[in-house]
Structures are given as structure tokens and as C-alpha cells.
Amino acid sequence: MTAPVDIRLHSTRPALDARPLEKRVGLIILATDHTTEPDFRRMVADDRIGVYVARIPYANPTTPDNLRKMRPSLTAGAALILPDEPLDAICYSCTSASVVIGDAEIEAAVQAAKPGVPVVTPPMAGVRGLKALGARTISILTPYTVETSRPMSVYFAAHGFEIASFSCLGFDDDREMARIAPATLVDLARESTDAQADALFVSCTALRAALAVVGMEEAIGRPVVTSNQATAWNCLRLCGDDEPRAEFGRLMTLPLK
């Protein structure tokens, strides 16, 4: 029988840094989400900013009623992200649900677990991004059904935008939305942007639209704002990161106003 190993307890504890990483961004994402984590890994996470994720229950189809059902899970989801530790920003990564639940309700639900944390939603980040770009008249492209798209048109109109055109693709499963190729989104942007629009908003955190922003902007000759690009931009600026990232579109070169 092997003799027990003599384990020595070090006499002093090492000094501790204030945080493993200087800044912390929390993400609340859908159980079915394929896209937000890779996008935030590309656009936000680095050796200064950490991204910490909690998934909450969600079941397709993507309808207004199903989207609203996530509201009770938001507080519990926020509480799971570094419990009892502060965050610099927290994003609820669902554009259509944010529209039907409402930004104020989402903020209240998240701050019930994380008091005082700045809360970012994709549609509100989209509004901030479009305004930073000086857009007043916009085109909107969504992968949703007409029923799920309709509240989106009301939301952007209520925030002062004239909607020149609104196109949707008729999908009701976010897992299929994630399978639309970025190159296809470039073609769809070209087809969906009205000649009078100052910019195009591409909705849905499931879409791999952040990978297609530059191609879409080249195709239409105008700025493009997408859900994950806008939330990443908003979270970066809240973390004090103002570095231009032109590879993710014109918005990523601008300050948060």
C-alpha cells in the first residue's frame, strides 16, 4: 500500500487581483441560441473584457406569445451570472422578445438580480446605433413571420424613425434562422433596402448578420445595423472601449451618444 503523500499548506496566501478581468459583460441568451456567444467572442471578449453567459428556457415557434413567456426567467438568468458580483453591462439577447416584453420591463427584471447594472437590449441598441449614424428613414429586414415582425415596426416608429420598407422571411424557428448563410444576407439586404432609406436594420440575434455587415454595407452603399453588432457596440462602449472595429461595420467606429 502506497504511503500517504505529505501535503504542505503554504504559509501565506498569494495576493489577489481586484478582478480576473477588468470589465464584465453578462449575456442572457435563449436555450436555442447558436449565434450570440460566437459573435460576442469575436466582437467583445478580449484580455480586458470578460463575457459571461446564462441561458434561459425557450421553445419555438417564435411567436409573440412564446416570446413573452421568457419574462419570468429573466431575473433568475441574471442572478446566475457571477452571483453577488457587479457587472459593467448585461445584455438580454433577443430582439423580438425585447420588443414584445418591453425595454423597461426587461431592465426591471434584470436589475432585480443585478441592481444598477446598465441593461442592453438589441432593439434599444439598434435605436442608439441608427441615431449615432444619423439615420432617420430606415429599411428593416427580419427573419420572422409577419405576426412577429409587426411589433418591430411599431417599436421603431415609436422611437421616431420613418420606415421606408419592411421585409420579413417567414421563419418561426430561431435554429433555422441561424442557418441562413451570411452571403445570403448580403443578397437579402440588397433586395430589402429602399432607395429612400438612410440605413438598414437587420433584426434577430439568431442571424449571423454581424459576419455580413461589411458586405451588406458595400452592397447597399449605406450603413447597416444588426442586432448582435449593435449590442456588442453598446456593451463595448459601456466598458469604456472606444476602439474602432471597422471590420464589423460603420457603427463599430462610432462613440455611444
Q: What is the mean pLDDT of each run of 10 residues along the chain (257 residues)?
A: 88 93 98 98 98 97 96 97 97 98 98 98 98 98 98 98 98 98 98 98 98 98 98 98 97 95
Name the residue range of residue 172's domain: 124-227
Whether residue 200 is contained in a domain is answered as: yes
Same domain assignment for residues 187 and 103? no
Do the domain assignments include residue 178? yes
| Burial (0-12, 13-18, 19+ Cβ within 10 Å), 167 | middle
- Same domain (yes/no): 238, 161: no
pLDDT at 119: 98
- Residues 95 and 190 reside in one and the same domain: no
36-43 vs 227-238: helix axis angle to the nearest 10? 50
pTM for the full predicted model: 0.95
| Co-location of 76 and 196 in the same domain | no
Distance CA(165)–CA(192), nearest Å, equals 7
Residue 215 domain flag: yes
Q: Are residues 139 and 108 in the same domain?
A: no
Number of domains in the chain: 2
110 and 159 share one domain: no
CATH of the domain at 128: 3.40.50.12500
